[in-house]
Each structure stands twice: as structure tokens, then as C-alpha cells.
Amino acid sequence: MEKNDMELANKLNIDLSMAIESGSAMAGKLKNGNLKKYLFSHVEKYEDLQKELQKIVSTNSKKLKSTNLISRAFLWMQVQLSAIRKSEESDYVESFIKGSEMGLESSNKLLNKYNDADKKLKEIAFSLQAMEAENIDKLKDYLKRTDYY
């Protein structure tokens, strides 16, 4: 596996880890059962992509860099502090939308920077983009609906 491929794989892994950590923590704070179920299922999709990424890397006898424990702890603290300030389900939904927008932006940058990367790695980035775009649309729809409140 080329150096650029490993860089891309590690950056995708970091993005997926952040999405999993923050998504799980925030989804756990929700009261609406349907919304909570949807968001936990979305986190599972991130986990599936991360497993696929790990499989690709391990096939090449490589290992992904683990996400830094301090970074994960800091992210967890941010989510907890954010939860204290949030009082409405819509606040959480807006945070999820922002997170998906950041994920979409990040994957776009990665695809541009590593446009000559391994096809399988680029497919993961494209899958992440599609997931994030779908999530943004679904959550924006949620904000428009009144039957959830």
C-alpha cells in the first residue's frame, strides 16, 4: 500500500472515529425514540464503513493509526458540555447536520488531495459522502416536521 493510500486511510479512519464517538454520545441524549433509533442506525453505518476500511488496510498487511485517547476524551467532553446547553431535540439535530456537513467537506477535500488513491479507499470516501448527504437531507426534513415534537 502506497504512502498516500495509508495517509488517506488514516484520515478517513479519524473522520469515521469522530463521527462514531460524537454520534453515539449525542444520540444517547435524545428523547424521541424514532429519532434516536435512526441516529444510532446511522452510527452503525459509520462503524460498517470503518470495518471495511480496516479490512482493506489489513489485506495489505498494514494497520490504521489508532485515534488518540486524549482526542477521543476531548471529543466526549465537548459532547457532554454541548448536551448541557441543549434543551430541544432540534438543537441535537442541528448539531448532527453540522457534523455531517463537516464530514462531507472533509471527504471532498480528501478526495481532491488523494485523487490518485487506491480505488477501494476512494469508494469508502464516496460512500461516506453519500451517507452524509443523505443524513443531512433526512435531518433537515425532521426539522420541518411537526409530528416529531
Taking only the tens place, the pLDDT of each residue in 107-149 is 999 999 999 999 999 999 999 999 999 999 999 998 887 555 4
Inter-residue long-range contacts of 83-92, CB under 8 Å, 24+ positions, other chains counted: 83/25, 83/26, 83/29, 86/29, 89/30, 89/31, 89/32, 89/35, 89/148, 89/149, 90/143, 92/26, 92/29, 92/30
Domain presence at residue 76: yes
Domain presence at residue 17: yes
Q: Domain containing 22 — which CATH number?
A: 1.20.1260.10
Q: What is the DSSP letter of 40?
A: H
**What is the pLDDT, as a whole number, of residue 23?**
86
Domain span at residue 12 reads: 3-144
Specify the number of domains making up the chain: 1
Domain presence at residue 149: no
Which of 35-49, 84-98, 128-142 bottoms out in mean pLDDT, i.e. has the lowest? Answer: 84-98
CA 39, CA 17: separation in Å to the nearest integer? Answer: 15
